Structure 1
Amino acid sequence: MNKIQFNSRQISLLSALCRHSDEYITLNLLAAECQTSKSSIKNHLNSLQDFLDSNKIHLIAKPGKGYMLSHEDALFLNEIIEAGRNDEYDQLYRVNKLILLLSYTNSYVSLSRLEDALYISRSQLYADLKILKTRIHKYSLTVKNKYGYGIKIDGSEINKRLCIIKENLYGHQVEQEINFFNNDIISSTSEIIMDVLAHNDYEISDLILQNLVVHVLIALNRMYANHYIEPEGIQDVFQNKNLFAHEILIAESIYRKLCRKYNIQINENEIYFLAINLKGKKNYHSANVISKEMDTFVTR
């Protein structure tokens, strides 16, 4: 295997492609997972082409579908990434994983369990947690310690979801049966949302549709893991239900279809929270509504 020292963007790009090694991943999703622009993704793919070719790794590009890495030995792809990692990216990767691990449990997690999950020492874990605390502080989240039990991230569900969105962690896989950010689920979720919006004469731009789909997918992901919005975060709807009547109807219809599809228990708080999101994106016109032909963000 030819040696190479990857930069953090290249590592992020290769990691994303490996996570989706059994399916195509779109340019938009690659850009979101790597926290960069679509043009930068194309440039990085070009810069990696010679290296991939020399190691008999095929980068397959399919119009309307995206990209896929292909190699007869899947472990070989991961070995390449590990060989090219640098310390700075390793820490970023670990802190991202720590945030997700601690965000998807309501109980305390022992330090020894975190060390085992990340294959690091106690001193390195402390260094990573210091960075984690700084990153989550701006979302009003804190790390809570309990002697003999471990640590957990403390804060509201709304702020945890905000952190996942703003830190671009939603494309990373968590340990559960369904990955809500694979291409098939993204595409089908987009279709369901567009059908409901069109039926309710709700006009929406492409960009806002992307944001709405991400909001819904994160909500499904969190609800599937039994993390629900608390009543305290949606007081505006409780106190002004008449003002949100149309949005509540749309939100209920979206979740009724999706939660039935994925066997997820829905509650009133989640419907109201989505209604708040819809209210902020409201843009009605009598003549023009979205069409089913609108491209979803996974194929543009």
Structure 2
Amino acid sequence: MAGNDFTPRMQQIVLALLKEHGPVPVKQLADQIHISKRTVQRELEYIPRALKKYGLTFCSKTGTGIWLEGDRTQMEVLKAELEADDALDVSDRMERQKRLVLEILKDKTLKKLYYYSDIFGVSEATVSSDLEAVKEWFHKYHLEIKRKPGYGVFIEGSERDFRRALRVFIDENIHTEMIQGLYEDRNQSVLNVIQNKSERNIYRILDDDIVKRVIACILRIRDKRILNLTQDSYLGLVIHVAIAVNRIRRQEIIEENPLMADFLQKDQDYDLAKTITKSLEEEFQIQIPEIECAYICLHIKGSKIQQLNIDEKSKSEIEESRELWEVVNEMIDCYNDGMAYLLKQDEEFVIQGLIAHLKPTLVRLANGMKIQNPLLEQIKRDYPAIFERCRNVARVIEERYGYEVPEPEIGFLAVHFGAAEVRMESRKENRRKVNIGIVCASGIGISRLMSSKIARDFSDRVELSVYGMTDLSPYVLNKTDFFVSTVPLKEEADILYVSPLLSDEEMERIAGKVRQCEYMPKKQDNKEFTIQLDQVNFMAVQIKNVIRLMEYHRVDNGITFEELLIAVSEKLASFADRQIMIQEDLMRRERLSSQIFPDLNFALLHARTEGVVKPVFSVCQTKDGTPFSDPYLKGVCVVLVMLVPKDDHEAENSEILGVLSERLIEEEEFLEAVRHGGKEEIRAFVSQYLNQYFRHYLDKM
């Protein structure tokens, strides 16, 4: 295999070069594989010798980059061998430790430290340190990493706990590209599910052939209880069964538990588990014990069904489920009485979240089924108040049905309630005080008592004003959200008629009106003025960003135009997809009409692009102030880049940057600063010209 000649680092570099169709700068390659340029350059010294047996040549050229030359067939052979070796970025300690857990779970038998150090390309001392770091993870599942001096490392614990650790590891790593593909392809042919999938994931625990045949068995069972499982639950079933088959074939059987097996045999889902078991026995020619069948049933019972599709039919079905609604309403009241009303208005929370979650939860609790919650400890640590309130919510279920709700289930409730509370709190940012007018015949006496009662119940949520019948001028009507009146009024306004003593029912009507108004825009006397204020604020923020975020860097004279675009985009965007957008949009604009001005010694590259979210002004000078050597940039010693985001404010942003491009031609001292000045000197000119523009902008408002 290629791994005998290539270190993991070399594998990453060569694989990246094999995927290129021409020279690539070392810096670009280093960023692509997430290691430093210096590390790449150090590893390059050893690559030519390793390539000899494949008849390939390593090439490099200053200012151009590095590449491979040779027979394409041999390149494909090398690529296949390197990919099969499953190279790992050993600099990522957390990823390496996760892989160490994976390797131990793949085979719990005795292994020397050298076995792991060879896999990861690190020292035995590093492996020893990593073993100490992952020991606690295994300990949570009653498994112990044992060291036998002179022999190596092995794992000690029961088969039941070993299976549990496997399941949890899979739960923690369920969201991988291969697993997502497995779910999406579950109604396609089995071969399509397995072939062309990378092995760099948790499936290295299992034998590919076993996984493929297990999928075939499950696909043959067209039971709606399987078809309606959520993505994670379906994938979990496939993996659970594959693990069970793999362990049974190795004669590693879970310890018998007659009570559980007898109990589950009476369950309505046990027949489905038996159907799956029979299919597996025929496929693999093995005998599956009753306890294994019981655990398959347990997995089915503990699985979640897909979220409800909230169409009219689904809503109708939910509305008819009166008991479920009663339970949910009681749970929300118990969570927090003060925010209960708003939580009940959140359809995403009530219907798509809580009700969809509660139905399978009640099934699990009724049958004593357990569920894993890998986020439990994090939820308890990061959101203790929400978790504790959900303990009270769980008591609603316990008191109504007599089920004890375990902490993993409480954790899932906390996820739903916490998400709803965050949504509600985000809406609170827009909440305002509500202006209420209290009206009686004279504006004194009883209206003062009403005002005191309302103020006591709503405190700083409202602003109260007391009026007599003759006080309701157009100004008062315009600024008041609604009126609370004990007398009939002829004015056109939003009015709640109440009794002088304000009953509980009337106070609830007022509360509903307050909740409605505090999320509505405040009444304005001059809407046009507020619009102008918003425009001024927007322009001020954009101008400030251009000045504060101005980029400035210097590059070698020998850099090519294409390399310059790459260097500029890397400075202006953090993510590769946005960098590519910037490069392509600048190149596209340049092809339309070149913006290279050799007579003035500068180039102005500008474009509208989705690669940025704010307007950008960037200066890129040569290091020694002399022109670039690239013929395309002949005579140019500085490149200016101006980028406008593709959004609803293209016109305003273009106008701001247009001021700077105009001043470049008009003001020789600005152009000279751009060509040879330092960052702060250039920024001072930018600030000066945009300051002048903003003052002129205000004068026109």
Please indicate the TM-score interval, normalised by the length of the shorter structure: 0.5 to 0.7
Aligned residue number for residue 295 of structure 1: none
State yes or no: 1:274 paired with 2:277: no
1:211 correspondence with 2:236: yes
What is the number of residues matched between the two proteins? 216
Q: Distance in 1 between matches of 2:226 and 2:77?
A: 45
Change (3 A) 1:8 1:140: farther
Counterpart pick for 1:122 among 121, 124, 131: 124
2:162 to 136, 157, 166: 157
**Match of residue 12 from structure 1:** none
Q: After superposition, give the CA deviation of every residue in 1:71-126 in whole Å (9 maximum; x if it has no partner).
A: 961423665999x964433x445434432332244533232333344443221111
| SS of aligned partner of 1:273 | helix
**Higher RCO structure (Cα 8 Å, ≥6 apart):** 1
> Are residue 240 (structure 1) and residue 245 (structure 2) matched?
no
* Partner residue in 1 for 2:30: 5
Cα displacement (A) at 1:241: 4.3
CA contact (8 A) 2:273 2:296 kept: yes
CA distance in 1, matches of 2:258, 2:244: 18
Moved over 6 A (4+): none
Is 1:135 the equivalent of 2:137? yes
Distance 1:248 1:71 in 2: 54
Alignment of 1:36-51 (within 5 A): none
Distance 1:172 1:257 in 2: 25
CA contact (8 A) 1:110 1:151 kept: yes
Cα–Cα, structure 1 residues 251 and 228, in superposed 2: closer, same or farther, change >3 Å?
A: same
| Corresponding residue SS for 1:160 | helix
SS at match of 2:216: helix
SS of residue paired to 1:151:
strand
Q: With structure 1 as the length reference, what TM-score do the two structures score?
A: 0.55
DSSP 3-state at the match of 2:288: coil
Report the AA paired with residue 191 of structure 1.
L
What residue in structure 2 maps to residue 191 of structure 1? 219
Q: Which residue of 1 aligns with 2:661?
A: none
Other structure's SS at 2:155 match: strand
| 1:243-296 CA-partner distances (Å, limit 9, x unpaired) | 43x43332122122124223444222211111111222488xxxxxxxxxxxxx
Paired AA for residue 202 in structure 2: H
Q: Show the counterpart of 1:51.
A: none
Q: Using structure 2 for the length normalisation, give the TM-score.
A: 0.26
Task: Name structure 2 gaps, 5 residues minimum.
Answer: 1-16, 18-23, 35-66, 180-200, 306-701
Between the aligned partners of 1:76 and 1:260, the Cα distance in structure 2 is 39
C-alpha separation in 2, matches of 1:86 and 1:202: 38
Which of the residues 169, 173, 177 maps onto 1:168?
173
Counterpart residue number, 1:257 = 279
- Please tell me whether Structure 1 or Structure 2 has the larger radius of gyration of its CA atoms: 2
1:230 to 255, 261, 267: 255
Shift of the 103–81 alpha-carbon distance from structure 1 to 2, 3 Å rule, reads: closer
Aligned residue type for 2:79:
F
Residues 255 and 125 of structure 1: CA distance in aligned 2, closer, same or farther (over 3 Å): same
Alpha-carbon contact 1:111-1:150 (below 8 Å) kept: yes
Q: How far apart are the structure 2 equivalents of 1:223 and 1:266?
A: 7
The percent of aligned pairs where both chains have the same amino acid is: 21
Q: What per-residue deviation string (whole Å, max 9, x for no partner) do you get for residues 161-205 of structure 1?
A: 223313428943548764444xx547524413x42x35xx77733
Secondary structure at the aligned position of 1:109 is classed as: coil
CA distance in 1, matches of 2:228, 2:103: 34
Of the candidates 73, 77, 94, which is equivalent to residue 76 of structure 2?
73
Q: Distance in 1 between matches of 2:109 and 2:94?
A: 24
Question: Letter of the aligned partner of 1:205 in structure 2?
Answer: L
Taking a change above 3 Å as real, the CA distance of residues 167 and 261 of structure 1, as seen in their structure-2 partners, is: same
Q: CA-to-partner distance for each residue in 1:211-269, whole Å, 9 max, x for gaps?
A: 322322333333344433233xx56523524543x433321221221242234442222
The C-alpha deviation readout for 1:116-150, integer Å capped at 9, x for no partner, is 44443221111221232243344343212333442
Q: 1:167 to 1:230 in 2, by over 3 A?
A: farther
Residue number in structure 2 paired with 1:13: none
| Structure 2 Cα separation of the partners of residues 95 and 159 of structure 1 | 19
Give the partner amino acid of 1:75.
L
Task: Tell me how far apart the structure 2 counterparts of residues 259 and 71 of structure 1 sit (CA, whole Å).
Answer: 44
Q: Structure 1 stretches of 5 or more lacking a match?
A: 10-53, 57-69, 284-300
What SS does the aligned partner of 1:144 have?
strand
Distance 1:8 1:189, change over 3 A: farther
Whether the 8 Å CA contact 1:189–1:258 is kept in 2: the answer is yes
